[in-house]
Amino acid sequence: RDSVTIVTARPGAGKSTLLLQLSNALVEEGYKVLYASGEESGSQIKKRAERVIENIGEDLYIMATNSLDAVVAKAEDLDVDALIVDSIQTFVLDEYLPSRAGSPTQSLECAYKCVELAKNTEKPKMVFLVGQMNKAD
């Protein structure tokens, strides 16, 4: 709790699969988890989960959207313990429109919003952010 972890790797390295497995492991430990994807549809995420997770926990919630405002509202409504944001570059906050997803402004402000959520004094959360590495070292 009260933490933000960033997972980065090249596209196709398995970040989403790893975090989906981590999400279910947290659910098995008694946590409530929201997995929010800005890249894949709910049905795509469900198919992956069925492929890699034997028993999907009841408290694993999936959301497919590009609106971080909607994700934050859902996380608060569900009162989750952990939030996965996959990937941060695909999300926007309405306050910073018309700046588009992936722009420096949106990416930084979305990341800051996630830190705010994690550090909430009333109900701190674990937040995991996925970041794409698109350029070679």
Q: What percentage of the chain carries pLDDT values higher than 70?
A: 97
d(CA 98, CA 116): 22
pLDDT of residue 10: 87
Q: What separation in angstroms does the CA of 38 have from each of 10, 25, 54, 123, 133?
A: 17, 22, 24, 24, 16
Is 135's pLDDT higher than 70?
Answer: no
Please give the biggest Cα pair distance in the chain.
42
pTM of the model: 0.93
pLDDT of residue 137: 47
